[in-house]
Amino acid sequence: MAETIYQGNILYSTSYDELKVIPNGYILVKDGFIEDVCETLDEKHKRIEVVDYKDKLIIPAFSDLHIHAPQYPQRGIGMDCLLFDWLNNYTFPQESNFQNSDYARSIYAKLIRDLIANGTFQLSLFTTIHYGACDTLFRMLHEAGLYAYTGITNMDRNSTDYYVDTTKDSLEKTERFIQEHQYSKTVKPILTPRFAPTCTKELMLGLGELARKYDLGLQTHLVESRAEAAWAKELFPEYASDGEIYEKCGLLQGSGPKIFAHVIFPTDTEERILKEYSGIAVHCPDATSSITAGIMPLNEMHKKGVTIALGTDVGACHFMGVYHQVARAVQISKMKEFYEEGQKRIMLANAFYLATVNGASIFNRIGKLEKGYRFNALVIDNMLDEEYNTSLSDALERFCYSGDDRNIVARYLDGKLIDPEEVYQRLVNIRV
């Protein structure tokens, strides 16, 4: 059994409000799992190799529960648009390129390299309607060893004529994808209706049947904007809200995770559904700021018992690092508190918890640096100034606000040191 001790300044979340800090502590890792976390070493530890990271930070790897993988090339482009103009003028034309599997391989290899470089090891990704490209992404995620959910994106109406499926084709491709992608221990299929307005009732009911048949989870967008929510109710007048469409059509019957991106304007029905079905509302601060959709009532939803995680929503977000979303979540919560009566801001510890513990909750024993958890961790070149009496929590905050991938000096996935460039070279050689 491989055993290693890692020494450094250990920081991780123990609760929504508490950040655990162990200065110059030790993490004993055996076969990819944490065996012990301690402040000093016992005599029994003396025989084990110690990797000393000195004054650097050791933190959990990040989880990003809302990524549009095919939008990676358009990040930072079209940011002056509102949602529907952005989709029609930039997103749908870009995503249609993924009918070319060679193009998909090139883009997805770069995407995964960038995810690993920025310390994102657990994720949920949208794809496109193209089977070959979706298969390529799944196999690349598996090869990289990342923990992920992904699936065929379903849309059979309200898109461009060059980028839309028939109901029959969408359901058939989805079922084939489910059947042919059961081999990975770390990457799993998930139902992925883009959002209610791009899906007919027939398609939604068909996806509900697949949820029951294969016991699958769901990822989609929910009440992302007032216009989207109103449009969903117009197209599905028999249902009381955006969220009820998924519930009544049976898409919440599987045991897999239920991931709802944005959830900016939730009604009582949406909040009930999220709690009743153990759903996760994914806050994407940069993205919703860029397309002016709104700001999630994060603190209010948390107090009501809704589980919240963070996402980049690349490409509506221009930067891959989830740690920047930790900072943005705090920033825009202050704006919401300032402009909306009764709203309260969040603190860095809250946002860091969402990006690590809550985001990893759909995976197995990931998100904390405690005994029994997988050692999915990052070593951060500490951002302390000699001229300023910076605490370790200050250093974490500075990394979230002003750091980048160059500050991540080591990355551990299931206890193994990984290099984004080495992974990239393996991925570009995968056959499609």
Distance CA 52, CA 50 (A): 6
Distance CA 48, CA 92 (A): 54
Mean pLDDT by 10 residues, the chain (432 residues): 92 97 97 95 88 96 97 89 84 92 94 98 97 97 98 95 96 98 97 97 98 98 91 95 97 97 95 97 92 86 97 91 98 93 93 98 97 98 78 95 97 98 92 66
> What six digits make up the tokens of 113?
């390299």
Distance CA 410, CA 403 (A): 14
Distance CA 317, CA 311 (A): 9
Q: Which pTM value belongs to this model? A: 0.96
Q: What is the architecture of the domain spanning 62-362?
A: Alpha-Beta Barrel (3.20)
Tell me the per-residue pLDDT of 354-394, one tens digit each, with 9 for 90 and over.
999 999 999 999 999 999 999 999 999 977 777 787 899 99
Domain 3-60+367-420: top CATH class: mainly beta
Sequence-distant (6+) residues with CB within 8 A of 158 are 197, 198
Domain ranges of the chain: 3-60+367-420, 62-362
∠ CA 76-79-81 to the nearest 5 degrees? Answer: 150
62 and 323 in contact (C-beta within 8 Å)?
Answer: yes
> What six digits make up the tokens of 422?
């080495």
Distance CA 323, CA 124 (A): 16
What SS3 string covers 126-148? ECCCCHHHHHHHHHHHHHHCCEE
DSSP state at residue 1: -
Q: Which residue has the tokens 């993490």?
A: 27
Q: Cis (ω within 30 of 0) for the bond into 206? A: no
> What six digits make up the tokens of 2?
């491989």
Q: Which residue has the tokens 């470089």?
A: 117
